[in-house]
Structure 1
Amino acid sequence: MPDVSIQSPDGSFGAYLAAPASGKGPAMIIIQEIFGVNANLRAIADKYAAAGYFAIAPDLFWRQEPGVQITDQTEAEWQKAFQLYQGFNEVKGVEDLATTLSFIRQYPGVTGKVGCVGFCLGGKLAYLMATRTDIDASVSYYGVGIDKDIGEVSAITKPLLLHIAGQDGFVPPDAQNAIKEAVAGNFLVEVHVYPERDHAFTRIGGKHYHDGDAQLAHGRSAEFLAKHLG
Structure 2
Amino acid sequence: MVEDEQTIAESIATRLRAEGFSVELAGDGPAAVAAFTARPHDLVVLDIMLPGYDGLEVCRRLQAERAVPVLMLTARDAETDVLVGLAVGADDYLTKPFSMRELVARTHALLRRVDRAAELAALDAEPVGADRLTVDDVEISLAERRVRVDGDEVHLTRTEFDLLVCLASRPRAVLPRDRLLTAVWGWSDGSGSRTVDSHIKALRRKLGGDRIRTVHGVGYAWETSR
TM-score class normalised by the smaller sequence:
0.3 to 0.5
Name the larger-Rg structure.
Answer: 2
Higher relative contact order (CA 8 A, sep 6+): 1
Higher strand share: 1
Higher helix share: 2
